[in-house]
Chain A
Amino acid sequence: MTVSIAHQRSANRTLRIVCPNGHLGFAPIKPDSFANGLTCEPDLICADSGSCDIGPGPLGSDTSSSPLAWQTHDLELMLLGARRLGVPMIVGSAGDTGSNSRVDLFVRIIQDLARKHALPKFRLGWFYSEVPKTLISETMAAGGAIEGLDGRAPLDPETLAATDRVVAVAGVHPFMALLDQGADVIIGGRSSDCAIFAAPALRAGFPEALAYYYGKVLECASFCAEPYAGKESVLGEITMEDVKVTALLPEQRCTIASVAGHAMYERTNPYFEHFLGGHIDMSECAYEQYDERTCRITGPRFVPAADLRVKLEGAGKLGERYVGMVGVRDPYTIANIDAVIAWARRQACERFGETGYELHYSVYGRDGVMGALEPLRDKPGHELCIVVQSIAPSREMAEEVCMIGLRQMFYARLPQVKGTAGGVAFALDEVLAASPAYRWTINHAMRVSDPMALFETAMMEAGV
């Protein structure tokens, strides 16, 4: 019977990584499976902290969507575990967005934790990923196209001007450089999820294809195991021939189905993973059950890129935002809800004109979730909730636009409505200030000659 990799290394030459969280800080690490991982002789503890799923607001406004308490909780567990075992700890895409302020925040948390626990001195390295807009405009002025990704047009000067903040997505390079300089703890700016894990594996001499695949499979922690459980740790092991991954929560297993299924998760295509410097092709991957809780993967291929293209992510502010909501129960009004909305829009137009603000209506009970993709749009429920959002240059104007857009639904004139004492129901007769509205302005790629060009590294001593 095969001995689980949780108990014994499967080859003479291996590198073992525990990953406790697929989005560090977003929801707290579950401590028990992480503690199990620390007993498995990991060579590193690594986690990604970034995601675009949170929308464009955090990058645009330079904030985190994760609460400071949870970020600190996760970093504390990882730091104490890593320093106790004397192994490196790597975090990528600090603070959800990987912007410079988020890197500084995580560096400060690590310093504070080191003092709090009187940890013996260690080397703390970090790198930044923000790209000055001037550098992008100079590149464009010099004739360098900033190519659009996922069907977007090349970047134009107007879109760049409407952007508040840009981060570049790092590959393995700054992580490897910091490991070369002896970093014990690395806080990364925005970076490819897989690079966080691939960097130490490449540095240890493992093949590129397996190293990048290793990162791909580990980056979401327990999402590659079944049954479904979030924020539980997994243990990975890379050898010269294969990658193995095992679940550390006793109830979970890494199966062929769960690991192959995870290869598809939140990506357009299950076969390719792109990063700065190339991509891996997973179309020939073979999956086998190594032991009850461990899946073994062989066969990924590494395809180096002909030229270096770094992905850029940017967000820009659209304006201040207010929201309000109304309910509708009258069947005739429900059947004519678009006319009611059109009436309210016209009142906003009469006050503010056609442009210079936005008014959005989401009709829950009809197509609020799916919009134009909703096939049952012509079969609304017996009651509707309509969320009204306004976007305008100032808070005062946003508040008034939203109030008109909301309250005028109450006064909308429909020719055959029986109820003439108010067309909608208010749970709250008010509009509420929301966070400002942003949009993803940049999802593009820029050519660079040096993979380190946009990623400045730094190192200091922490601890006592």
Chain B
Amino acid sequence: MAKRKLFDLAKTIRSKNAGVDRITFDVIFTDRASYDLVCRSGALSRESVCRIFGIPSTRITDHVHFDPALAIKFTISRTMPSGSPGDGDIFGSQQYGPLLDVEVAGAI
């Protein structure tokens, strides 16, 4: 089956603090077909997100398919508040890297 990378399908892939205790991820598409494909493939399902980041499902606080923006959005809890000593990403803005190479199976 054909596989594509999320990098090639999404317009925006980003992460950012959502308050001091959480980091939220937005994956935004320009076309409905790509959005539907990724939703359907499960490449960014709760289970997949846990596998990608090596976290238990209890750390996913929100997981939404947001149709108006053609976006998949999920939020994880931090293990320490942003800006605590040892936190390498105070803004939470560089946590999306592993999503770029996520492979998406299926045809548009």
Chain A residues packing against B (C-beta within 8 Å): 52-57, 149-152, 256-257, 260-261, 263-271, 285-287, 313, 318, 321, 358, 360, 362, 368-376, 389, 391, 437-440, 443
Contacts and interface: CB of A to CB of B under 8 A. Distances in A.
A56 B91 CA distance: 12
Given A150-B19, A261-B69, A270-B69, A362 B88 contact: yes
A437 B68 contact: no
B12 to A, nearest CB: 7
A266 B16 contact: yes
B61 to A, nearest CB: 6
- 5 closest cross-chain pairs (CB), A and B: A55-B83, A260-B69, A440-B81, A360-B86, A260-B68
A151 B54 contact: no
B34 interface: no
A439 B80 CA distance: 9
Contacts of B55: 373
Instruction: With a 10 A CB-CB cut-off, give which of B19, B22, B68, B70 has the most chain A CB atoms.
Output: B68
Given A360-B86, A439-B83, A443-B81, A267 B69 contact: no
Contacts of B66: 260, 263-264, 270-271
Nearest to B83: A55
A398 to B, nearest CB: 11
A63 B96 CA distance: 31
Interface in B40-80: 52-55, 61-62, 64, 66, 68-71, 73, 75, 77, 79-80
Contacts of A267: 18, 24
A370 B19 contact: no
Nearest to B72: A264
A150 B61 CA distance: 9
A53 B97 contact: no
B34 to A, nearest CB: 13
Given A56-B83, A369-B94, A373-B53, 7 more contacts: A52-B19, A260-B69, A264-B66, A370-B88, A373-B98, A375-B98, A439-B84
Given A261-B26, A370-B95, A268 B19 contact: yes
Contact of A52 (B20, B52, B94): B20
B71 A362 contact: no
Contacts of B30: 257
A279 B93 CA distance: 26
Contacts of B17: 52-53, 266
Contacts of A389: 85-86
A257 B28 contact: yes
B24 A268 contact: yes
Contact of A269 (B28, B75, B97): B75
A370 B66 CA distance: 26
A51 to B, nearest CB: 9
Contacts of B91: 53
Nearest to A285: B68
A264 B73 contact: yes
A365 B23 CA distance: 22
A372 B85 contact: no
B95 A268 contact: no
A50 B3 CA distance: 43
Nearest to B69: A260
A355 to B, nearest CB: 15
Contacts of B88: 362, 368-371
19 contacts: A257-B28, A260-B68, A260-B69, A263-B66, A264-B26, A267-B24, A268-B18, A269-B75, A270-B64, A271-B66, A285-B68, A369-B88, A369-B89, A373-B54, A374-B98, A389-B85, A437-B84, A443-B19, A443-B81
Task: Give the one of A256, A264, A269, A439 with max B CB within 10 A.
Answer: A264
Nearest to A257: B69
B21 A150 contact: yes
B54 A264 contact: no
Contact of B85 (A269, A358, A371, A375): A358
Contacts of A371: 79, 86, 88
B54 A263 contact: no
A370 B77 CA distance: 13
Interface in B1-35: 12, 16-22, 24, 26, 28, 30
Contact of A440 (B20, B69, B79): B20
A437 B85 contact: yes
B85 A266 contact: no
B65 to A, nearest CB: 10
A456 to B, nearest CB: 26
A443 B21 CA distance: 8
Contact of A375 (B53, B64, B90): B53
